[in-house]
């Protein structure tokens, strides 16, 4: 499960009007089901040398695939049919582990609070359900 989008070399994703780059990938950004579809559009753009085609997957950009996942994501990994994320639900809050189910699109946040990244690293590295 992946999609392709157009990204500026300076950062940002091309929006649907093919003129502006959004800092974050969202529903307003242009997206394609295949690499070939993306390359067809890039070839029609004036500044094509400054645009990359990137593949977005649940591991590389889980917020797009799991819309109920809120906050800043610091790390992701896949275990079977789940994407496990280290999340800071809101700025300044304790870190949590989010379990995102690829089949159902459900997101579950663990109840355990972690004060900093080093304290969650062990739990994240050894996480298993």
Per-residue model confidence as pLDDT tens digits over 9-63: 888 899 988 888 988 888 889 999 999 999 999 999 988 888 999 999 888 888 8
Predicted local confidence at residue 129, as pLDDT: 52
Predicted local confidence at residue 128, as pLDDT: 67
Residue 66: is its pLDDT beyond 60? Answer: yes
Asked if 10 contacts 50 with a C-beta cutoff of 8 angstroms, the reply is: yes
Pair of tokens at residue 128: 């298993």
Strand partners, 56: 3
Predicted local confidence at residue 37, as pLDDT: 94
Global pTM value: 0.73
């Amino acid at each position: 499960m992946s999609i392709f989008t157009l990204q500026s070399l300076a950062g940002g994703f091309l929006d649907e009007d093919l003129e502006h780059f959004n800092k974050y990938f969202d529903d307003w950004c242009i997206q394609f089901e295949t690499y070939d579809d993306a390359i067809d559009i890039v070839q029609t753009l004036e500044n094509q040398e400054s645009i990359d085609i990137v593949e977005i997957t649940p591991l590389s950009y889980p917020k797009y695939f799991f819309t109920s996942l809120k906050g800043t994501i610091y790390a992701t990994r896949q275990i079977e049919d789940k994407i496990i994320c280290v999340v800071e639900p809101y700025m300044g809050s304790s870190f949590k582990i989010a379990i995102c189910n690829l089949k159902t699109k459900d997101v579950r946040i663990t109840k355990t609070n972690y004060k900093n990244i080093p304290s969650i690293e062990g739990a994240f590295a050894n996480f298993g359900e």
